[in-house]
Structure 1
């Protein structure tokens, strides 16, 4: 990444970075993929502004397109966890017949909150008020998030789950869609 804009963070291998790994053990294909073009490709996407500040966007394998806009799950999740009912959130693309994919939030609820229409509506409303229209969460599912031993959320499992869900009829209480709440589009009275 040079100048301003968005791109993958890469290290110039000609500069011989200190404490850099020699490669993936017994995996030449992965080594070649990670080091092509004389750069080490970190898999992290960031933006650089005119002052040189770098802002993390997400992992290259996590960023997805919805209605031809790039969605950073990290940005959407950062807003969702500000809601008092949300303990943790993971956003993945959900197949959609109109937009090809829409942001779906898998949410672990904070203690004292339960999976209900009211909770889903409150979170969807909060997301609408704090996210750009193209980033809006269109679906919510309340679950215990799958994690690795080190505590990282296993997004790959959630993406696979979305593909399985797309092949089956919609479960009535498993997930909430923004279209379930016609009054969501209306401005609430002040």
Structure 2
């Protein structure tokens, strides 16, 4: 569905990925033999995702809503849909290097837009829908945003955000807003313009700003797509896995484990959307949908062990935690109920995973 197809960069990436899969539980061999795939030019959306998506009817993205409705999108469908979005965004004036604020929830349009932007060599500024007008003014200003893609219900937040930027709303046209849904009319054949340099900017994140004003963090077409081979290895993902990661859109961990790591492994991204955390419902969805790997922050793990973990009859093969070292009591509670051991991982907005316990490593519980 694109003119790109597999390239030398694709094959180098695949060889590195396959090496990690081969030594998934042998950290020593992986450490000794792994070499980062180096390419001067690389576009992960065109040269990896579209390549593995060609003719691929396996599920790439599976969303289950609180009301029980669900959406499944295959790899091939996601490739075609992102091509349509890329063609439409180009028609709206999106050019290489343009910065796009993407403020969407866990909805199909989020993944479509990020892939489309990558194909256009535009720069994504991920933003959580929780942001208010003051934060958005800062992001438009310091991020030098030329376009915004937001849910229609959040469009009013931009009424007091000055700037010359294209306004795109998912879920309906509004005054001064373009309706994202028009992208569905575009061709699913996408012709890339120019080449993507491996060091071109791909994403700009604003940090959480816990102790000072949020900083801007740059990631390239290498640092995240290729860098998250390490995240794939930490989680222990394999082709055909169904991976559930609990993380909010707009934060770096969402891209880590809901985009790059699972699709590097050719696994399914599974999402259960909810407004209030319900451990019993979560485990029911995990059982029903065959979740094989699960990542959650320590706060979620601590809430989970307050429930009856035995209701999950088929626990995930891989379970990991991120954010802070998980206390040994929680790890032991999960091991007793599920027979699997939670493995910690740590990284920053500025990096991929930095420190982790990968499958097969000896663990010292409560530390990394």
User: TM-score by structure 1 length?
Assistant: 0.34
Max Rg structure: 2
User: TM-score by structure 2 length?
Assistant: 0.21
Specify which structure has the higher proportion of strand: 1
